[in-house]
Structure 1
Amino acid sequence: MGARLALLLLALAGAGCASTTGVGYYWQSVTGHLRLMQAARPVEQWLSDAQTPTVLKERLALAQRIRAFAVSELALPDNASYHRYADLQRRAAVYNVVAAPALSLTLQTWCFPVAGCVGYRGYFSEEDAQAFGRSLDPSLEVNVYPVPAYSTLGWMNWAGGDPLLNTFIGYPEGELARLVFHELAHQVVYVRNDTVFNESFATAVERLGGTRWLQTQAGAQAQADYARFDERRRAFRALTGTVRLRLQTLYRDATLDDATKLQRKAVVMADFRRDYAGLRSQWDGFASYDSFVARANNASFAAQAAYDELVPGFIALFEREGRDFARFYDAVRALAKQPKEERQRTLHGLAGTAVAGGTAERR
């Protein structure tokens, strides 16, 4: 049991440097996750309980169909994860803290001996996350944001696996499927010290799997709801991608001094908020991105980039492997064994070839 708890510490979302993290952080990680696990009950019990609301029963049944599809159609792990459900009585599973310098989109990292370094640090308490954010170097731009789910990378399947949670069970059908596929993908491949590789891979799996689910399993209403949501997401991603590029170009301009860069950065951010307001005015009150925009800074843009940067390369690799998920995973595992710079070059090269050949990214 002690060894398993040690692995749990290494698996939890968010990490802490050994030199800066005390026993308190490790304790909140263990106790927070154990409370989550203790709150979870098998889905079958929720479905057979007369006190379970009908809407929740329908969502849990849908989640089990999605879970079975993940195994049969996407070759994702067939294990204990997502066969239990917990109501945490809060809006997020964990709260992540990210930080970046004022003139850089490079995230601060925190490291575990086994799991490696990641560009975020997670807390089960929002108050604790905010307190840690305030404790960081004032020169850093900090962002604290809610996370609906996290993966223990398969290390906790012996204890029941990662559960379904109230924080995401009510998502639209397409989004629920994508989230389950994303988190299960982390159990397929995880590379130490490379958040961008890990998150981009999981995002590629969620997009590919989500597309297949919607095309083959979802009804017309679910497809229409997803299409409307995804159109807005694509527009927002395009906007934030443009902003990231402008900021990166500005920060790398060796001809400008820091004061000038900060002035021009303010203009970029003002343009971003103006352009977002224009987008939002077309969305009939849809406000899901308001909180991101309100707290947008280098840290939030850098964290977003981790989920996007290598996705086109992974999509191209999936195409190269004949759109076969098992072969795709084997190819990703082979990539994971390469040095970080080499695998990134490979994925960027695949993405470039796909664009040149006209292969479209499936979002």
Structure 2
Amino acid sequence: MSPTRRIDPRRIATTLLLLLPLLGGCSSLGYYASLAQGQRALLKAREPIERIVGDEQRDPELRRRLQKVQEARRWAVGHLKLPDNQSYTTYADLGRPYVVWNVFAAPELSLEPLQNCFPLIGCMAYRGYYRQQQAEQRADQLRHQGYDVHVGGVPAYSTLNWFADPVLSTMMRWSDEVLVGMIFHELAHQVVYVRDDTAFNESYAEFVEEQGLQEYLAEKGGTREAWQLFDRRRHEFVDLVLATRSRLVQVFSADLSDSDKRAAKKRQFEQLAQDYQQLRDGPWAGYAGFDGWFAKGEPNNARLLPFALYDEHKPAFAVIFQQAGGDWAKFHGAVRELSKLPSGQRLERLRTLARQQTGMDTP
């Protein structure tokens, strides 16, 4: 749900020794060792949710929310046809605000993300760190190389069932609805995962999260008015950012000088800030819940990347879901078949499906 999420350290913790001959340079060794150490510490912190819920000496609010997780997870297995395994049956208190920090980077005049490639799991559009300081150091290196850079905290990630992923204390920062949605999202990653295609993986899981949460709340007695209002505003904000991204794609592909592209880029980000202010001060009646996105610094290409990765193909997955008649098993099966296509064919199919929903071409 949130714009920035998830590193996939799949299998790294248990296969580090096998990978050492493949890694070039001390910096790579240090990075993989850090991932292994972070994953081991996370797994060591786990304790069964059932034990916490049954212990009346534990924090009542924590127990209530973990009971909510138990209920939502059972519902997801039966209704959404998500995996029934040991993931999210344990809880880990990490004592920090995020589990990892993801580093995104893009060229100054492009929205193509810098790819980060790993043995066994392929390439992703970000690189994750268990320590914020390490993430900031990597970001500084990339800035010195001329990249636009963004560091975003991540509340949860999936190891694709290589480990029994726990519910994390970092997932408890927001509402019950967000917590439940994250469980759906992370379990979806265990159903379909495509090597080297972050946008496909995240858009699919994001659709499962949003559609699944909508059905879950409807069955459990409807949604809270406050959540409905926040969710609507969140989508409106995302729409603003994606519209800016679409215009920038046109700018960067135009036959212009680099100086003209830089000037146009600056105008587009200024327009985004103005559009947001009008939305905030107008229809939102002063609601400033997304001011923090602008307060983090001047927007740049890298800060747009998470929005594209998580939302780019959602319209296509909505069409697949409609074609499946709302049957989740058929939907997941259709997505699996789509995932088997070569990358170029898969992307073209996604764009065709999106046009069926929107009635217009996607950039």
When normalised by structure 2's length, the TM-score is 0.89
Amino acid at match of 1:85: Y
Counterpart for residue 232 of structure 1:
233
Change (3 A) 1:204 1:6: closer
1:128 equivalent to 2:130? Answer: no
CA contact (8 A) 1:60 1:169 kept: no
> What is the aligned length?
342
Change (3 A) 1:23 1:337: same
Change (3 A) 1:345 1:174: same
Counterpart for residue 7 of structure 1:
11
Amino acid at match of 1:269: F
Counterpart for residue 6 of structure 2:
none
1:196 equivalent to 2:199? Answer: yes
Counterpart for residue 71 of structure 2:
65
Change (3 A) 1:115 1:43: same
Sequence identity (%): 38
Counterpart for residue 290 of structure 1:
292
For structure 2, list consecutive stretches of 5 or more residues without a partner in the other structure: 1-8, 17-21
**Separation in 1 of the partners of 2:296 and 2:226?**
26
SS of corresponding position for 1:111: strand
Amino acid at match of 1:245: S
Counterpart for residue 276 of structure 1:
276
**Separation in 2 of the partners of 1:50 and 1:332?**
43
Cα offset, 1:39, TM superposition:
1.1
Point out the more displaced range, 297-306 or 75-84: 297-306
Cα offset, 1:288, TM superposition:
4.3
**Separation in 2 of the partners of 1:42 and 1:138?**
45
CA contact (8 A) 2:23 2:29 kept: no
Candidates 38, 41, 51, aligned match of 1:45: 51
Change (3 A) 1:34 1:292: farther
Cα offset, 1:96, TM superposition:
0.2
CA contact (8 A) 1:122 1:129 kept: yes
Change (3 A) 1:264 1:245: same
CA contact (8 A) 1:75 1:326 kept: yes
Cα offset, 1:287, TM superposition:
2.5
When normalised by structure 1's length, the TM-score is 0.89
**Separation in 2 of the partners of 1:77 and 1:263?**
49
1:146 equivalent to 2:165? Answer: no
RMSD after superposition: 2.2
Change (3 A) 1:289 1:153: farther
The structure 1 segments of at least 4 consecutive aligned residues displaced by more than 6 Å after TM superposition are none
Amino acid at match of 2:95: Q
Change (3 A) 1:344 1:266: same
SS of corresponding position for 1:268: helix
Amino acid at match of 1:247: L
Cα offset, 1:178, TM superposition:
1.4
Cα offset, 1:280, TM superposition:
3.1
SS of corresponding position for 2:190: coil
Change (3 A) 1:51 1:290: same
Cα offset, 1:48, TM superposition:
2.3
Cα offset, 1:284, TM superposition:
4.7
* Structural mapping, 1:101-250, within 5 Å: 101-136=107-142, 137-156=144-163, 161-217=164-220, 219-220=221-222, 222-250=223-251
SS of corresponding position for 1:85: strand
